[in-house]
């Protein structure tokens, strides 16, 4: 099933409404869809390199808007669905502790999920469920998603098709290493 979704998504990249398709995929990927927008972005940019930054901007805006939908899902269904389940299992108090810890570092979690291969949708929904500050969530989402999509667009714009394998294979691990080093640096400054 995932392979069919992937093939369908790749077919959208070649279509006349590819930019709209990218917006839809980026929007729904931020809350429910399993295929990342990069799958559409890469062939779209390779086909029209002069539109690389427009494509990245569309992906960023739609992804952040979809992230707000994910936030709303977490926020709206935690009380009606999540809380009764936690109470049934006697874990309601544990969620409050987890929510408080998450909200202390929630901006970092959004940043990590926004730029790394970690599913962004998980953090968007969890951010709403824990009621992470909405302005913080939106601000960090814009930063993280723009960083991710504009780096991909910039590399493809500058180097074209030869950089595609590098992006698909190494960009996720490099973003992850960058975030780990960034957080490690802040940790070192704070505690050492």
Q: What is the pLDDT of residues 80-107, one digit of tens each?
A: 877 776 777 777 777 888 888 888 888 8
Average pLDDT score over residue span 148-155: 92
Q: Is the pLDDT of residue 190 over 60?
A: yes
Q: How many CA atoms lie within 13 A of 139 on its CB side?
A: 8
Lookup: tokens for 6: 């992937």
Cα angle for residues 125, 18, 24 (degrees, 5° grid): 20
DSSP notation for the chain: -HHHHHHHHHHHHTSTTHHHHHHHHHHHHTTT-SS-THHHHHHHHHH-GGGHHHHHHHHHHHHHHHHHHHHHHHHHHIIIIIHHHHHHTT-HHHHHHHHHHHHHHHHHHHHHHHHSSS-HHHHHHHHHHTT--HHHHHHHHHHHHHHHHHHHHHHHHHH-GGGHHHIIIIIHHHHHHHHHHHHHHHHHHHH-
Lookup: tokens for 139: 């601000």
Q: Is this model's pTM higher than 0.75 or not?
A: yes
CA 25, distance to chain mean position in Å, is: 12
What is the largest distance, in Å, between two alpha-carbon atoms of the chain? Answer: 56
- Check residues 46 and 72 and name the one with the higher pLDDT: 72
Look at residues 18, 22, 128 and name the one whose alpha carbon lies nearest to residue 67: 128
Q: Is the pLDDT of residue 174 over 70?
A: no
Confidence at residue 44, expressed as pLDDT on a 0 to 100 scale? 85
Work out the pLDDT band at 113, boundaries 50, 70, 90: confident
Average pLDDT score over residue span 180-188: 63
- Check residues 161 and 157 and name the one with the higher pLDDT: 157
CA-atom Rg of the chain in angstroms: 18
């Amino acid at each position: 099933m995932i392979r069919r979704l992937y093939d369908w998504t790749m077919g959208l990249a070649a279509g006349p409404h590819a930019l709209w398709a990218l917006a839809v995929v980026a929007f729904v990927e931020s809350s429910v869809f399993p295929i990342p927008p990069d799958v559409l972005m890469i062939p779209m940019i390779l086909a029209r390199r002069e539109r690389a930054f427009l494509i990245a901007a569309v992906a960023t805006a739609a992804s952040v808007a979809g992230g707000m939908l994910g936030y709303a899902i977490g926020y709206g269904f935690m009380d009606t669905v999540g809380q009764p389940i936690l109470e049934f299992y006697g874990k309601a108090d544990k969620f409050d502790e987890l929510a408080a810890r998450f909200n202390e570092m929630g901006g970092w979690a959004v940043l990590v999920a926004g730029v790394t291969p970690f599913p962004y949708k998980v953090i968007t929904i969890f951010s709403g469920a824990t009621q992470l500050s909405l302005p913080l969530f939106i601000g960090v989402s814009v930063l993280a998603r723009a960083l991710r999509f504009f780096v991909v667009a910039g590399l493809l714009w500058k180097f074209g098709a030869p950089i595609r394998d590098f992006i698909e294979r190494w960009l996720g691990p490099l973003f992850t290493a960058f975030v780990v080093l960034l957080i490690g640096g802040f940790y070192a400054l704070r505690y050492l």
